[in-house]
Structures are given as structure tokens and as C-alpha cells.
């Protein structure tokens, strides 16, 4: 194969260097890319932090280079999204000098000519700055959708045109309204500051419903925003840095595909001067990548084996989203009340203020659902979604979860928490029409109804049929001569030409 021989230089395999951002949703696609490039003849070297370090024993075919960071920049995974953002910004900066030394050593050892390029997560701008100084061509991997990156590019415009910030939104408008109503019920004389807060929050609510005509189909509420003006600029900085990283890179790699985001990809190709490679869904090209940070409980696959086709609901909110104890209770009783068989991932630490799964489920839940459901701490998600017994996925709409579901023809119940998840849910419901959002406050009655609608309802069946069509379209993209296959060939030719 031409691409394979391209990866050989002077009779030796060429090296590709990788640096993933150390979070599950970023590690998985980077390791899938590693598998793909390794299969096409590249030797793979992975730079990584000690925080969420990969297990080299699970990838004996790759070389791993730990990058030291000063004390205090790693530590446990933060629970709040603001803290995750602060950690990402701090990690990139902290890696810079350790990475420079490690990269220089690797370049000396391999010989500069034998290194094709480095591929780094777009959120690691300091890595791009180091490689530029050492003249190592670098490609950026963005692990979100094309639409999401278009939103990153548009962020300054969103502020200029007044879509952002969401004015006066000091807290969640729904909870402000609830507090106000409770106060009024208990005491007819609600104070004027409560009324002012309610008015402000209602204004914020209508601003959130505004369509963003430059980024159809997004509304303001689908953008990456914090609740309140208190983000201290860290989100803007994160997005601006990712944009800079892509602009200084030698190309942008996206884990998406033509059938899903043709229009959005065309837009990015117009707006960027670097080439864009839509080589997704990566997990379909390199299915055996075991990069899970948590141990996957495979017993749930046996449990699914005993269920009829498309009968069970799979529930998982990814590796970072945290819910309140109240939402956990409503979720649990909603699942129980639906009468639908379920497999639920309750990740340790998923509920704010609690570290143990046993403490998290409400009393009586297990008895109420015995024989009908299974709860695990972490699942082999791709295999679960591929299982014929799974009829729907209640998801937080992380981009990996969304594409994994789409590729298996599984319709979704959407419950986005933060970041790009709201935008992904918007596409699921309004563009691909393969799911719908559990709107507003989680409340057990609404949850029950939504689950039934998805698994046994008529429009759930229609969504499943459309998801099946998308699955076929994804298969065409990854098949011989498909858009993603061609994009991979182009990427490899590009890497070897740098
Ligand atoms: N995942 C998994 N087991 C689980 C839940 C999630 O292996 O029980 C994987 C899932 O397949 C996906 C990743 O974790 O590849 C989560 O990424 P995503 O972008 O969906 O969400 P994030 O965790 O970044 O919020």
C-alpha cells in the first residue's frame, strides 16, 4: 500500500509523536488515531502527564514518554467544569519545559528526519509553541464536532454582536424561578430583591432562547457558556488558545465525518487556512484501543445477552459530568417508574459530595428494580451500544458518546451538562432527529415519560429508524472509497510531506 511505504524512511518506520489531553474523552480518540497510524506503518511515541497516565502494559506496541510537571498541577480530577478548565490551562503551561527537554531527547535519539510530525490535542497550545521552536511540524486533534470548533472560531463575534455574555444570569434561571415561587407560596410578600432577581433571570432566559443566525441551528443556550459572568475569562481563554493552536498547526484532525457534518466541515475549510481532515468516527477504524482509565465491568454484556432486541435503556453521563444528589434521586425513580430494563453507569464520584456508588442510590431503588436493571461503575460503552438489546441511550452528549451512539443506530435521550454537550444535543434533536432532550429540571414523572417515549413510543421508533439510516451513512464514510477513508489517505500523505 502506498501509504504504508510512505511511513517508511531509510528502510525504517517513521515515527509519529502524540500528546493527548489527559481526560477520557480526549484520550480515547487520540489512542484510536494511534492505532490507525500504527496500522499504516508508523512507530508511535506517546507523551503524557502523570495525571491520568495511560498504562503502557496495555499498549506494548507504543513507546511512552512521561512529561514531568511541577508539583501541584496534577492531583485528582476536579469535579466542577470551571476547575477542569483551570486544570487544562495549568497543565498545558506546566508541561512546557518538561516537554521541551523530553522532545529534544527523543528527536536526538530517533534522528530528526525519521520523525514525521507530532499530533497534539488542540487544548495544549504550549506544546505547539515548543514544537514550533524545535521545527517539528505539528497537527492539532480536536476531539469535538466540527460545529463545536466553528463555535470556538465565532466566540469573539458572539461577544461583539451581544449574544454573549448572557446578561444578568447569576444563577440557573429555573432554580431562581422555583425559589421565587416557593418564597411566594410561603410568604405572600416576596421582597423586591427576589423580584429583581426573577426579572433578571427571566431576561437571561429569553436571551438564552435567541437563535444564533450565524451558527444555525444553535441558540444562545446551546453555546459554551458558564452560568453567570463569573468565569473570570478562563473559558474564553481556553477557546482562544485552541483556535490559536489550530491556526499555527500544520492541519486540523477532526473525529467527525462527512455524513454527519458536511456543511459544518465546508464552513471550517472556508474559514481556516490549514487543511482539515475529517477522519471519524475513529473508534470504527481502530476498534481494539483499550484506553479506559477506569476498569470496564464486562459482566453487563452477559446481562444484555438475556434481553430482547432494542428493549433496554443504557444510561451514562460520561467521565466528568456530576449530578446533584437531588437529580440522582429523580433519575433513579424515573428509571424505576418507567418499567423499562436498564443498564446504568453510576461512576464513583458522579454525585456531588459523595465518593461511593453504594451511598448514592436511593434506598429501595434496588428492590424496586430487581431483575430488571443493572448498575455498574463503568461499562465497555462501545460494545454496550453495539449490543442488539440496547434500544436507547440516555446520555450527557459528550462528542464521543454521541458519535458512538449514532454509529450503532441507537437513539438518544439527551441530558447535556456543560461545554459542547448542549450543542451536540441540539444537533441530535433538531438536525439528525435521532433523539430529544429531557428538558428543564429533572423530575421523575418527566423522566419516566421520556424513557417510555424513547424505548416503546412511536416517535422513539421513528428516531431509531433515522438513527439506523445514519449508521448506514457512517458505514459508507468508513468503507472503501468513503470520505473518511480518503481523508485518512490525505492525512498520511500530508504527514509524510511535512
Ligand atoms: N465510556 C466508557 N464507559 C462508560 C462511560 C463512558 O468506556 O461507562 C467512554 C465512552 O465510550 C467515550 C468516553 O468514555 O468514549 C467518554 O467521552 P465523551 O466525549 O462521551 O464524554 P466525556 O467523558 O468527555 O464527558
Report how far residue 248's alpha carbon sits from residue 269's, in angstroms, rounded to the nearest whole number. Answer: 15
Ligand 1 midpoint to CA 457 (Å): 27
Protein residue whose Cα sits closest to atom 5 of ligand 1: 318
Partners of 44 in beta bridges:
16
Q: How far is the CA of 380 from the centre of ligand 1 (A)?
A: 9
User: Is 26 assigned a catalytic role?
Assistant: yes
CA angle 424, 142, 423 (to 5 degrees): 15
Q: Which atom of ligand 1 is nearest to the CA of 377?
A: 8
The Å distance, Cα 180 to ligand 1 centre, comes to 37
The answer to which of 170-174, 376-380, 406-410 has the lowest mean pLDDT is 170-174
- DSSP designation for 429: I
Model confidence band, residue 3 (pLDDT cutoffs 50, 70, 90): very low
The set of residues, in sequence order, having a beta carbon less than 8 Å from that of 86 and lying 6+ positions away, is 78, 234
Residue 287 is given by DSSP the state T
How is residue 495 written as a grid cell?
A: 504527514
pLDDT of residue 1: 42
The ligand 1 atom nearest the CA atom of 292: 7
Residue 231: which pLDDT band, with cuts at 50, 70 and 90?
low
pLDDT at 240: 96
Cβ–Cβ < 8 Å for 415, 395: yes
Pick the more confident residue, 292 or 3.
292
Instruction: Measure the CA angle with vertex 146, ends 136 and 207; round to 5°.
Output: 125
Residue 401 alpha carbon to ligand 1 centre in Å? 6
Q: Where do the H-state alpha helices sit in 217-280?
A: 234-248, 258-271
Higher pLDDT residue, 71 or 310? 310
Catalytic residue among 6, 15, 48, 121: 121
- For the chain, the maximum distance between any two Cα atoms, rounded to a whole number of angstroms, is 84
According to the model, what pLDDT value does residue 76 have? 62
Mutate to test the pocket of ligand 1, among 304, 400, 407 (most ligand atoms within 8 A of CB): 400
Q: Can 48 be counted among the known catalytic residues?
A: no
Which of 20, 22, 25 for a ligand 1 pocket mutation test, highest count of atoms within 8 Å of Cβ?
Answer: 25
Q: In whole angstroms, give the CA distance from residue 122 to residue 496.
A: 20
What pairing do the DSSP bridges indicate for beta strands 138-142 and 412-414?
unpaired
pLDDT above 90 for 366: yes
Please, are residues 284 and 382 in contact by the beta-carbon 8 Å criterion?
Answer: no
Note the pLDDT tens digit of each residue in 311-364: 999 999 999 999 999 999 999 999 999 999 999 999 998 998 776 655 579 999
Q: Which residues are within 8 A (CB) of 141 and not within 5 positions of it... i.e. 6 or more apart?
A: 20, 29, 30, 33, 119, 120, 121, 122, 253, 255
Handedness of CA 241, 292, 29, 321 (dihedral sign): negative
Indicate the DSSP class of residue 211: B
- Measuring CA to CA, which residue among 219, 193, 184 is closest to residue 431? 219
Given this model, what pLDDT does residue 496 score? 92
**311 Cβ contact list (under 8 Å, min separation 6):** 340, 341, 389, 391, 455
Confidence of residue 2 (pLDDT cuts 50, 70, 90): very low
Of residues 19 and 165, which shows the higher confidence score?
19
- Give me ligand 1 centre to Cα 27, in Å: 10
| Strands of the sheet with 390-395, listed across from one edge | 373-376, 342-345, 312-316, 390-395, 412-414, 435-437
Q: Which residues does ligand 1 sit against, CB inside 6 Å? A: 24-25, 28, 292, 296, 316, 318-321, 345, 378-379, 381-382, 398-401, 404
**Ligand 1 atom 24: residue of nearest CA:** 25
pLDDT at 257 over 80: yes
CA of 423 to the centre of ligand 1 (A): 17
Assign 439 a pLDDT band (cuts: 50, 70, 90): confident
Mark 31-54 as b/e (b = at least 16 C-beta within 10 Å). Answer: bbbbbbbbebbbbbbbbbbebbbb
Q: All 3 cell numbers of residue 146? A: 466540527
pLDDT, one tens digit per residue, over 151-195 is 999 999 999 999 998 876 555 555 555 555 665 666 555 667 666
* Percent of the chain clearing pLDDT 90 (strictly above): 77
Residue 241 falls in which region: left (phi positive, over 0), alpha (psi -120 to 50) or beta: alpha
Question: Which ligand 1 atom minimizes the distance to the CA of 399?
Answer: 19
Query: Residue 291: how many CB atoms within 10 A of its CB?
Result: 18
Beta strands in 172-279 (DSSP E): 252-254, 276-278
Q: Each residue of 442-452: pLDDT tens digit?
A: 999 999 999 99
Q: Which residue's alpha carbon is at the smallest distance from atom 11 of ligand 1?
A: 381
pLDDT computed for residue 168 by the predictor: 64
Is the per-residue pLDDT at 121 higher than 70?
yes
ipTM: 1.00
In total, the chain counts a number of residues equal to 498
Higher pLDDT, 440 or 432: 432
Which ligand 1 atom is at minimum distance from the Cα of 419?
Answer: 25
Residue that wins the pLDDT comparison between 17 and 77: 17
Amino acid at each position: 500500500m502506498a501509504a504504508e511505504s510512505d511511513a517508511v524512511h531509510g528502510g525504517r518506520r517513521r515515527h509519529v509523536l502524540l500528546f493527548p489531553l489527559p481526560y477520557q474523552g480526549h484520550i480515547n480518540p487520540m489512542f484510536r488515531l494511534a492505532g490507525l497510524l500504527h496500522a499504516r506503518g508508523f512507530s508511535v511515541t506517546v507523551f503524557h502527564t502523570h495525571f491520568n497516565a495511560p498504562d503502557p502494559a496495555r499498549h506494548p506496541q507504543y513507546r511512552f514518554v512521561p512529561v514531568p510537571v511541577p508539583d501541584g498541577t496534577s492531583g485528582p480530577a476536579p469535579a466542577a467544569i470551571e476547575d477542569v478548565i483551570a486544570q487544562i490551562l495549568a497543565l498545558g503551561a506546566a508541561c512546557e519545559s518538561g516537554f521541551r527537554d523530553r522532545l529534544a531527547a527523543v528527536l536526538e535519539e530517533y534522528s530528526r528526519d525519521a520523525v514525521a510530525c507530532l499530533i497534539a490535542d488542540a487544548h495544549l497550545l504550549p506544546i505547539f509553541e515548543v514544537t514550533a521552536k524545535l521545527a517539528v511540524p505539528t497537527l492539532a486533534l480536536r476531539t469535538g464536532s466540527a460545529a463545536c470548533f466553528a463555535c470556538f472560531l465565532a466566540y469573539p463575534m458572539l461577544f461583539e454582536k451581544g449574544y454573549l455574555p448572557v446578561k444578568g444570569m447569576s444563577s440557573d434561571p429555573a432554580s431562581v424561578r422555583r425559589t421565587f415561587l416557593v418564597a411566594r407560596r410561603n410568604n405572600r410578600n416576596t421582597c423586591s430583591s427576589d423580584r429583581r432577581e426573577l426579572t433578571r433571570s427571566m431576561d437571561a432566559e429569553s436571551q438564552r432562547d435567541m437563535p444564533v443566525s450565524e451558527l444555525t441551528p444553535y441558540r444562545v443556550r446551546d453555546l459554551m457558556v458558564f452560568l453567570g459572568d463569573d468565569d473570570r475569562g478562563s473559558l474564553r481563554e481556553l477557546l482562544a488558545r485552541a483556535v490559536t493552536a489550530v491556526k499555527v498547526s500544520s492541519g486540523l484532525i477532526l473525529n467527525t465525518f462527512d455524513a454527519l457534518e458536511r456543511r459544518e466541515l465546508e464552513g471550517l475549510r472556508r474559514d481556516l487556512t490549514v487543511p482539515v481532515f475529517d477522519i471519524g468516527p475513529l473508534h470504527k477504524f481502530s476498534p481494539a484501543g483499550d484506553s479506559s482509565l477506569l476498569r470496564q465491568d464486562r459482566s453487563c454484556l452477559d446481562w444484555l445477552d438475556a434481553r430482547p432486541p432494542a428493549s433496554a435503556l443504557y444510561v451514562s453521563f460520561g467521565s466528568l459530568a456530576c449530578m446533584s444528589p437531588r437529580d440522582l434521586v429523580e433519575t433513579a425513580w424515573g428509571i424505576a417508574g418507567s418499567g423499562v430494563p436498564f443498564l446504568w453507569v453510576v461512576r464513583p464520584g458522579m454525585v456531588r459530595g459523595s465518593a461511593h456508588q453504594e451511598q448514592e442510590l436511593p434506598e429501595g431503588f434496588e428492590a424496586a428494580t430487581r431483575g430488571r436493571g443493572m448498575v455498574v461503575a463503568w461499562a465497555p460503552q462501545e460494545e454496550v451500544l453495539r449490543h442488539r438489546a440496547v434500544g436507547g441511550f440516555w446520555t450527557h452528549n459528550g462528542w464521543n458518546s454521541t458519535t458512538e451512539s449514532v454509529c450503532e443506530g441507537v437513539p438518544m435521550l439527551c441530558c447535556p451538562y456543560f461545554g459542547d454537550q448542549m450543542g451536540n444535543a441540539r444537533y441530535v434533536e433538531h438536525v439528525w432527529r435521532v433523539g430529544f432532550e429531557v428538558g428543564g429540571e429533572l423530575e421523575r414523572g418527566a423522566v419516566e415519560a421520556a424513557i417510555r417515549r424513547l424505548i416503546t413510543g412511536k416517535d422513539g421508533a421513528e428516531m431509531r429508524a433515522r438513527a439506523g439510516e445514519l449508521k448506514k451513512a457512517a458505514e459508507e464514510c468508513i468503507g472503501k472509497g468513503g470520505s473518511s477513508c480518503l481523508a485518512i489517505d490525505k492525512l498520511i500523505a500530508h504527514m509524510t510531506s511535512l
